[in-house]
Amino acid sequence: MAEDIVDLFPGAPRQMGFDLGDAPQPRSYEPDREEVRRELHEVLAAAKAATDRCPWDRRTFQYHKTVFPQMANWLPEEERDQLRFEFAEEVQRLEKLLAA
């Protein structure tokens, strides 16, 4: 039945969602894994490079502690677990530097 309807105004916006045509495809919110991987490695490298003081202020440090493990969820399981492990070790070391 919908194939019988002639569009008298092609390209014009539809009214109030009553166009009865194909529904728009939902947007994908899945991030680019390479970008996630790059960002996680940058954060980890900054943490590892710190020798005498934390590379971030307390607020940024807390942000990384919260977000890093969540971002790692987008990576394959083995890689995710390894990055989380390495970052957790650095967090412990950096917390000692912040306490000093």
Q: What is the pLDDT of residue 23?
A: 67
In a domain, 22, yes or no: no
pLDDT confidence of residue 13: 63
Identify whether 23 is part of a domain: no
**Confidence at residue 3, expressed as pLDDT on a 0 to 100 scale:** 61
Q: 95 is in which domain, residue-wise?
A: 33-100
The pLDDT, as a whole number, for residue 98 is: 84
Question: Residue 27 is encoded by which pair of tokens?
Answer: 């947007």
pLDDT the model gives residue 10 = 74
Q: Which residues of the chain have pLDDT under 70?
A: 1-5, 12-23
Assigned domain for 4 exists: no
Confidence (pLDDT) at 8: 72
Structural domains of the chain, count = 1
| Rounded-to-integer distance, Cα 100 and Cα 52, Å | 10
pLDDT of amino acid 20: 62
